[in-house]
Amino acid sequence: QVQLVESGGGLVQAGGSLRLSCVSSGRTFGRSAMAWFRQAPGKGRVFVAAISWSGGSTFYAESVLGRFTISRDNAKNTVYLQMNSLKPEDTAVYYCAASNQGLLRTPKVEYEYNYWGQGTQVTVSS
């Protein structure tokens, strides 16, 4: 069983930055595609960013393109989400997700991912 633990959330003013981290307990982390999703109050969970097992392929939601960067350190079993130029509409619980596959055909959909973290709250004030 893979456990994912997110950290790095918090309260930040609009225009500020945060970096989220997600540490995996999985022995096959280096062969797993990873992603971040988010869920705003009263809304469903939506895709934010994804990265292939090697880091060679990344994918982003249009709403965060150019502001957020996903990266990974396979030596540390960790995936990151650098969030810059934050907006109040970025306020949400952010979830880390891991797949059993390294490169996904549809990395933006939830069913591609087998394991989920508990989430970390990000609040952006105006």
Residue of 97, 75, 112, 108 lying closest to 22 (CA atoms): 97
List, as one string, the DSSP characters of 42-85. TS-EEEEEEE-TTSS-EEE-TTTTTTEEEEEEGGGTEEEEEE-S
* pLDDT per residue as tens, the chain (126 positions): 899 999 999 999 999 999 999 999 988 899 999 999 999 999 999 999 999 999 999 999 999 999 999 999 999 999 999 999 999 999 999 999 999 999 899 999 999 999 999 999 999 999
At residue 85's C-alpha, the angle toward residues 53 and 20, to 5°, is 40
